[in-house]
Chain A
Amino acid sequence: MTSEPASDAVVCDACPIRCVIKPGRTGSCDRYGNVDGALARLDPLLVLERTQERGGALVPFAARQSDWDGEIVQGADVVVTGAGSGTTYPDYKPAPFIVSSSVAGVDTVTVVTEAIFSYCGVDVKIDTDRHVGAERRLVRARGEAVGHVTTGQYGSQMLSLGGVNHLTGGSKREGMATMRTLLALCSREPVELAVDEGSELVLQAGEPPVINGVVEERMRVGCGSATIGMFAQQWYEHVDEVVVVDDHITGVLSEHQAGRYLDIPATGIRVKGRRSTPGRYFNVAHPGTGWGGTDIEDPLTILDGFDPEVAHPGLTVLMIGTTGEHHAYFVLDDELRPVPAPLPDDLRLSVERITENCEPALTSVLFIAGAGGSLRAGATENPVALTRAVRQMITRVTCGGAPVYVWPGGGITFMVDVTLVPPGAFGYVPTPALVAPLEFTMGRDAYAALGGHMDAIVSLDDVLARPDLRRG
């Protein structure tokens, strides 16, 4: 009835059709294929065997017993992730894998799935004081709006990219550009972005940001005022005045609380901008990619001369940015004009120390997604019970085995650092939406109590015995 299959073909026994599948091809269902002469379920399940990854030093079984709190599953030796588990959307069927294992003698269940997230995005933290773009300005990829600049945070600029309004609320091109941007960022690939009336950015999770072609090396040590506070002691008696130039808060040593405490005499320096509290100035310049995140290249432009009643010829002034990258040393001449002079050695030490205290500048990417809707039905017959179990911390949520932060409030909206998720875990569907692994882990009793698909549970050993596993 059927012809004899060629030697390199396999006969699939997943359904009665018994497709003869040649190497590199799939059967008529597209779910099973011939991989190197063996029948394989495609989209292999990714299993992380973390302990072995660390050189085979297995954690003794009993050692965890005291840590076990009976509710939240502690780290098992093997983490079955949702990566490659496959999914349907909407979720009519139980999640692709509902895995049971015994952790310290307690039966646990991990519901492993790949979720399709129409509601998702990334928050990007760019460690830089350079001006990236004004708040609320659009961030574009290939000309399409994919997000916007949000708030400035400590030593960093924040972008919010994606979300349902860009993914599916705009044009098709906008949706696709957004999806590609999110996927690339989540996959730790470099992404080129442009901010309206702002900078050109190259961002890659875990790597230094590139702003207008310049690789950002270091984060600021603190705001201008904080820098004064941190280093006042080291400047004291080596220089008469220090100005730490900062787009947010420019600090002036002699006026600052820290200077007063050290009895540093007034210098008569006049700083442009708006004085907040003594020794702290706002708006000394405009945001930019120059000194301390301002647009200035010549620091003297933020000074408005010196009060002749107070200042004296020979007075020394150190001006420095918040990373130590920019600095200049001046001595007042007889007309009280600052004249550039070589930096004395004992001041050089403090400048180097500022640089030393600046951490490497990185781009960090947090994936934010909501598993509020039908996804939950794949895990339990009563979807809201899963939400409640997560909320009550009976169920632990992970994304590709990585810890997540679950937002308070409705639904299961979580954030995860994409660098902790296994490589290749993120995918997409043309909706457009992102696909990401998601695991719910809880005690077997708790799973039964929330209406879990108990019939669909398979043992961890059976999962590990599958020929199509990919081990991370």
Chain B
Amino acid sequence: MSGPVAATTPDGSRLHLQHGPIDLIVEAWGEPGGVAEAYRRAWDRFQPLLDELVAELPALRRPVGAGHEPTGSVARRMAAAVRSFPDRFITPMAAVAGAVADEICEAVATGGDLRRAYVNDGGDIALLLTPGESLDVGLVPVPDRPALLGRATVRHDDPVRGVSTSGRHGRSFSLGIADAVTVLAETAARADAAATLIANTVDLPGHPAIRRVPASDLEPQTDLGSRMVTADVGALTDAEVTRALHAGVAEAQRMRAEGLIGAAVLCLGDRVATVSTPVLASAVGG
């Protein structure tokens, strides 16, 4: 079994952390000594992280219940993120990548003299911004079509510290057909959970061109059990794409109205829909 590994770029500007399926890129800006210290803290926090998660995995694969409260700090972040969405089916696993990013970002931020930083956990990104600072986040909807769809500039004053993308092409399963849903929210964990839920609702129930299989047929340990996950999407008409996107936009608007997310960008085929607060309207753009 391989353990956690860390490496920096030759110039020391970025830190790469990997253990099992977790692959993080960390970059911080500040005094050189401060950055090095921050990377040391990230590495210290990272090393036991996967083992902590694994210890609670069976519970984290079930919807949060009243009785059980996870003990690990990443697990608690996951549970807290999905509690924001009590009326939808979701397990803490929907927020695992974002929660890991938040956890490491907090370790980076604690005690350092940094101007800004990010922790990118395979597309689920936690941000650290001090007053006056901002970060640009590029939106790439589909991994094999690597065009930069747009760019979100997140400023210190924005109520956003997490950016997360979910959809059919990632590592996890989706109940919907969205190619990608990117969500900007207060934390990466919540953005992760919200993106998963919105992507699930971008859908055309019963459509013959959409092939679905029970998740457990593909992955015995999945948190989705025997729920039907999207295996393949055939040709859709423009009207069908619009209808599917509208369902997702409605879900995103509900979340935004409840103050759960800041903005969402939904992609299906060549179509893109945006849900955004006025504050972020200028930030999320083509």
A residues at B contact (CB < 8 Å): 1-3, 5-6, 9, 13-22, 25, 27-30, 88, 90, 92-93, 172, 374, 377, 381, 383, 430-432
Stretch in B105-113, B185-193, B214-222, B272-280 touching the partner: B214-222
Q: Are the CB atoms of B5 and A15 closer together than 8 Å? A: no
Task: Check if B146 sits within 8 Å of A27, measured CB to CB.
Answer: no
A-side contacts of B57, CB under 8 Å: 17
Could you say which residues of chain B place their CB within 8 Å of the CB of A2?
Answer: 58, 221
Q: Is the CB of B219 within 8 A of A15?
A: no
Given contacts A16-B51, A93-B7, is CB(A9)–CB(B1) below 8 Å? no
Q: Is B143 an interface residue (CB 8 A)?
A: yes
Interface presence of B14 (CB below 8 A): yes
Question: Once the chains are docked, how many angstroms separate the CA of A88 from the CA of B25?
Answer: 12
Contacts of B14 in A (CB 8 A): 92
Complex Cα distance, B112 from A217, in Å, reads 71
Q: Is the interface of A mostly helix, strand, loop or mixed?
A: loop
Interface size, B (range): 20 to 34
Contact B9–A92 (Cβ < 8 Å): yes
Q: Does B147 contact A (CB under 8 A)?
A: yes
Chain B 1-19, CB-CB to A under 8 Å as 1, else 0, gives: 1100101111000101011
Check A432 against B20 for contact (C-beta < 8 Å): no
For A15, the chain B residues whose CB sits under 8 A away are 1-2, 19-21, 50
Contacts of B9 in A (CB 8 A): 90, 92, 374, 377
Contact B220 A17, beta carbon cutoff 8 Å: no
Chain A nearest CB: distance from B48 CB in Å?
Answer: 10
In the A-B complex, the 3 residue pairs with the closest CB atoms: A15-B20, A29-B21, A430-B146
Does any Cβ of A come within 8 Å of B236's Cβ? no
Name which residue of chain A comes closest to B6, CB basis. Answer: A92
Inter-subunit contact B143/A22 (CB<8 Å):
no
Chain B neighbourhood of A14, CB < 8 A: 1-2, 20
User: Are A3 and B221 in contact, with the CB atoms below 8 A?
Assistant: yes
Instruction: Give the CA-CA distance A27 to B217 in the complex, in Å.
Output: 14
Given A22-B218, A374-B10, also A430-B144 (CB < 8 A): yes
B147's partner among A20, A29, A88, A172 (CB-CB below 8 A) is: A172
Contacts of A90 in B (CB 8 A): 9
Asked if B68 is an interface residue, CB under 8 A from chain A, the answer is no
Complex contacts, A172 vs chain B, CB 8 Å = 147
A177 to B222, CA, bound (A): 38
Enumerate chain A residues within 8 angstroms of B144, measured Cβ to Cβ: 430
A383 to B9, CA, bound (A): 12
Query: Closest residue to B50 on the A side, CB-wise?
Result: A16
B219 A22 Cβ-Cβ under 8 A? yes
B1 touches A13 (CB 8 A): yes
Q: Is the CB of B50 within 8 A of A25?
A: no
- Chain B nearest CB from A466 CB (Å) reads 14
Which residues of B sit under 8 angstroms from A1, Cβ to Cβ? 58
CB atoms of A17 and B171 under 8 A apart: no
Q: Using A15-B2, A30-B171, A93-B16 as known contacts, say yes or no to A6 and B50 having CB atoms under 8 A apart.
A: no
Q: How far is the CB of B216 from chain A (nearest CB, A)?
A: 9
Within 8 A of A (CB), among B1-52: 1-2, 5, 7-10, 14, 16, 18-21, 50-51
Q: From A171, which residue of chain B is reached at the shortest CB distance? A: B147
Does B8 lie within 8 Å of A92, measured CB to CB? yes
Question: CA–CA, A3 to B14, complex, Å?
Answer: 39
Given A29-B20, A430-B146, A431-B146; 7 other pairs, CB 8 A cutoff: A2-B221, A16-B20, A17-B57, A22-B220, A92-B7, A93-B18, A383-B10
Contact B220 A432 (CB under 8 A): no
Assess the B21–A27 pair: CB atoms within 8 A: yes
CA–CA, A17 and B54, complex, Å: 6
